[in-house]
Amino acid sequence: MQAIRFLFPTLFLFSSLFGQTMAPRPVEKQLGGIVRTDKSRKQINLAFTGHEFAEGGHLILSTLQKHNVKASFFFTGDFYRNTSFEDLITKLKAEGHYLGAHSDKHLLYCPWENRDSLLVTKKEFITDLLDNYKEMERFALRREDARFFMPPFEWYNDSISAWTKELGLTLVNFTPGTLSNADYTHPGLGGQYRTSDSIASRIMWFEENTPFGLNGFILLLHIGADPRRPDPFYRKLDDLIHRLKSKGYEFTLLHQTIH
């Protein structure tokens, strides 16, 4: 009987630890889309989107190689079918980066001034997204291996999230607060323009002055920018990764942090 009494606590402890290990890691959601992973972990998910431009791609790739960092890349169907981008896409895949969908034609799903409305029907949404995945198949990127989807313009509503889920996919979006997503802007956009220095400063300010810093962040950048942007942010990626690593951050892939 004494041996049995000792056995029960041991089994209970094992089951508790096992349950903790297997439990889903907490995520933050907005309108049904995941916008942040576990805030208790010093992990950052670097995410890049691409549609028209990719001039920063090879510099980004070499910078990630230098720091042994993996990132997630979300490209439109037009990006995947652009023959001048094929070499870059092939190299990103070979290096083990995540390659996902960003819609086929970079559609705007919702009006900027009224997010609750829709500019596409469910059929249009599904057709466009599946066309994106068809282009990905040319690179042997299977839908079941690329279930994370980032909406075009990073703009969506709960209907888009629900339709995405019906397709067996998971909508993800950037974590707000750092203005890193403004690295596409250029002076011609007036007040929307953010210099790369100001973006870098904002990222580090957010890390130092908010309760959880950049823990669990989905940090969005663009693989290319309009030629009218004088200071592409990807030139600062090397320094940014170095500074964040020195603060103890680990760079992870989304499928490693979301289960």
Buried b (16+ CB within 10 A) or exposed e, 92-129: beeeebbbbbbbbebbebbeeeeeeebebeeeebeebb
Q: Kindly give the confidence (pLDDT) of every residue in the chain, 259 residues in length, as a single tens digit, with 9 standing for 90 and above.
A: 444 333 333 333 333 333 444 455 789 999 999 999 999 999 999 999 999 999 999 999 999 999 999 999 999 999 999 999 999 999 999 999 999 999 999 999 999 999 999 999 999 999 999 999 999 999 999 999 999 999 999 999 999 999 999 999 999 999 999 999 999 999 999 999 999 999 999 999 999 999 999 999 999 999 999 999 999 999 999 999 999 999 999 999 998 888 6
User: Which pLDDT does position 258 carry in this prediction?
Assistant: 85
- Residue 213's closest CA among 175, 174, 181? 175
Report field, pTM of the whole predicted structure over 0.85 = yes
- Pairing mode, strands 250-251 and 43-50: parallel
User: Which pLDDT does position 24 carry in this prediction?
Assistant: 57
User: Which pLDDT does position 7 carry in this prediction?
Assistant: 37
User: Which pLDDT does position 8 carry in this prediction?
Assistant: 36
Which structural domains are found in the chain, ordered by start?
A: 25-257 (3.20.20.370)
Contacts of 56 (CB under 8 A, 6+ apart): 222, 223, 224, 225, 232, 234, 235
